[in-house]
Amino acid sequence: MEKNNKVDLSEHPSYSVVEIAENLHCHYILIMRVQRTQVGEYFSCLKTLMRAYTERTASLHQHWERICGTFVVHSFKRTVDFHVFALKHILI
């Protein structure tokens, strides 16, 4: 009945083969339910993260000029001024 300190339920006199098979089937169903629940929680977490990322990106896009607008305009203006200055000296 005991092999390597483990009880073999198939040889246990108080359990029939049908009861053991039914318990294994119930155990399998419980495992599948837990896995479905975990997958649902995983997708729910991913949806929440994606929603937060989308809101952050939308907010950054909406306020882009306030955040980076002046810097981009000034550096672009300096570059354009330099090219105009260089072209004037080449043409003169």
Comparing 55 with 20, the larger pLDDT belongs to 55
Q: How many domains does the chain have?
A: 1
Q: Is 2 helix (H, G, I), strand (E, B) or coil?
A: strand
Q: Are 32 and 38 in contact (CB under 8 A)?
A: no
State the first-to-last Cα distance of the chain, in angstroms, to the nearest integer. 106
Comparing 9 with 25, the larger pLDDT belongs to 25
Backbone angles phi, psi at 12, to 5 degrees: -70, 130
Name the residue range of residue 73's domain. Answer: 2-91
| Region for 5 from its dihedrals, namely left if φ exceeds 0, alpha if ψ lies in -120 to 50, beta otherwise | left
Q: pLDDT (tens digit, 9 = 90+) per residue, 12-29?
A: 556 565 566 677 777 788
Tell me, yes or no, if the pTM score tops 0.85: no
